[in-house]
Amino acid sequence: MKILIQSPEIIDPQSSFHKKEKNVLLNNGRIVEIGDKNYSADRVIKAEGMKLSIGWFDLGTYVGDPGLEHKEDLDSVSKAAAAGGFTEIAVLPNTVPSVQSKNEIGYITRGNDNRLVQIHALASVTRNNKGEELTEMIDLHEAGAVAFTDGLKPIWHTDILLKSLQYLQKFDGLLIDHPEDIWLNMFGQMHEGLQSTMLGLKGMPRIAEDIMVGKSLELLGYAGGRLHLARLSTGKAVDLVRNAKKKLQVSCDIAAYQPLFDDTALVDFDTNYKVNPPLREKADNDALIKGLRDGTIDVLCSGHTPHEEESKSLEFDMADFGLINLQTFGANLVALSKTIDWDVLLEKVTVNPRRLLNLEIPRIEVDEKANLTLFDPERTWTLDDRTNLSKSKNSPWFGKEITGKVVAVFNNNRQRAED
């Protein structure tokens, strides 16, 4: 089936058509023509004013499957990811059991031949993500794990972090850590500051992130290897990474929603804004924007963390941390694009995550496989019970009009396109 994408702006720095408006013809999962001609096709997608990039990649999607499928399973996350513009996702190992053997990796990846959205496995650094005993990382790497992390949990044990950095150098593996001092954040509910004091909630101080970033960078300098720091939120953490990049192989990401809200969003105790790391203050958000602009922050993630209603419709201090954000990720990009160029934003969700994981990077050129995302930054829509494809609906955007909609995704000779 021939599909013509008519006059989108191509955003792909690797492509000779970067920032040009061209017609793109697809056939049997490949790009067969790019140019100004009005090519004959079975289906035409009018894409004036839209952005066509290589397929988006989410570095760190939380899925409950196996074991916690009531939150999200592989089927539902694939549908939500495709609707949100993602053609590939890497899933966190915080499952039951955790992703710590060849069986779990095989369970996650074995359906990829028949999937539009390719699902990559991030394997556990420690057994059951407890931070106490290393997994067999070489075996997991050979089974297909693309990187190693304890996911939503920090690698709190200093010796484990050190040995992981050393161990992974055997195959140039990437260690991903969520920097958090769990003792300083114990019982914390939100950012520690004026708002937490006014609301009477136990705070999560910046220093709980900053000291762990500092410690991890010191260990990286001592041991060598490659370290990726996930879901940063403070200005100091970004500064530490910026300076460390001059001499160390360190990278980092943030959740795309992190710079868009501050801790005043919690004034009504809406648990959909209860996330970890917490929403901080405007100064931190400004520092995150600066880090995105200057390249200190390498990757934008969705931060997708689904929870069933029973985990969120509770008193604030009893509710779980996290929000869903695969389908609303594009709206995050629209908000960020007010201060950051589109090519900078899209590089952080296309090229950079794949480069960090040593995966093949698609290109928008003739005779390349079609791994593409078509996005309309002007289209409005509403996330509701009809449009939401996640099993969960813990989203601050639920029931609200959103600007920015994915029109189509193409990958693995499959496609999903809006009518």
DSSP string for 175-227: EEE----TTTTTT--EESSHHHHHHT--EE-THHHHHHHHHHHHHHHHH-SEE
* 173 plus 226 within the same structural domain: yes
Contacts of 269 (CB under 8 A, 6+ apart): 199, 316
Distance CA 384, CA 401 (A): 10
Average pLDDT over residues 233-243: 98
Whether residue 387 lies inside any domain: the answer is no
Enclosing domain of residue 30: 2-51+365-379+403-417
* 70 plus 45 within the same structural domain: no
* 46 plus 164 within the same structural domain: no
Residue 419 pLDDT greater than 80, yes or no:
no
* 146 plus 181 within the same structural domain: yes
Residue 77 pLDDT greater than 80, yes or no:
yes
Whether residue 163 lies inside any domain: the answer is yes
Question: What is the phi/psi pair of residue 314, to 5°?
Answer: -140, 175
Average pLDDT over residues 203-213: 98
**What is the tally of structural domains in the chain?**
2
User: CATH no. for residue 194?
Assistant: 3.20.20.140
Contacts of 415 (CB under 8 A, 6+ apart): 3, 116, 408, 409
* 23 plus 138 within the same structural domain: no
Work out the mean pLDDT of the chain and round it to a whole number. 97
* 20 plus 68 within the same structural domain: no
Residue 41 Cα to chain centre, angstroms: 34
Burial of 75 (0-12, 13-18, 19+ CB in 10 A): middle
User: CATH no. for residue 47?
Assistant: 2.30.40.10
**Predicted confidence band at 287 (pLDDT cuts at 50, 70, 90)?**
very high
8 Å CB contact between 154 and 209:
no
CB atoms within 10 A of CB 224: 14
Contacts of 367 (CB under 8 A, 6+ apart): 30, 31, 32
* 127 plus 165 within the same structural domain: yes
Whether residue 395 lies inside any domain: the answer is no
* 272 plus 371 within the same structural domain: no
8 Å CB contact between 372 and 411:
yes
Whether residue 10 lies inside any domain: the answer is yes
Question: What is the phi/psi pair of residue 243, to 5°?
Answer: -70, -40
**Predicted confidence band at 418 (pLDDT cuts at 50, 70, 90)?**
confident
8 Å CB contact between 210 and 185:
no
Whether residue 394 lies inside any domain: the answer is no
Whether residue 392 lies inside any domain: the answer is no
pLDDT value of residue 143: 97
Distance CA 141, CA 122 (A): 10
pLDDT digits (tens, 9 = 90+) for 226-235: 999 999 999 9
* 47 plus 139 within the same structural domain: no
Whether residue 393 lies inside any domain: the answer is no
Q: What is the DSSP string of 328-396?
A: THHHHHHHHTTTS-HHHHHHTTTHHHHHHTTPPPP--STTSB--EEEEEEEEEEE-STTT--SS----T
* 40 plus 90 within the same structural domain: no
Whether residue 145 lies inside any domain: the answer is yes
pLDDT digits (tens, 9 = 90+) for 117-141: 999 999 999 999 999 999 999 999 9
* 178 plus 219 within the same structural domain: yes
Residue 408 is inside which H or E element, if any?
A: strand 401-411
* 16 plus 68 within the same structural domain: no
3-state SS, residue 118: strand
Distance CA 376, CA 403 (A): 9
In SS3 terms, 275-327 reads as CCCCCCCHHHHHHHHHHHHHCCCCEEECCECCCCHHHHCCCHHHCCCCECCCC
pLDDT digits (tens, 9 = 90+) for 315-364: 999 999 999 999 999 999 999 999 999 999 999 999 999 999 999 999 99
8 Å CB contact between 230 and 297:
no
Distance CA 297, CA 382 (A): 30
Question: What is the phi/psi pair of residue 100, to 5°?
Answer: -135, 15
Burial pattern 165-204, b for ≥16 Cβ within 10 A else e, equals: bebbeeeebbbbbbbbbeebbeebbbbbbebbeebebebb
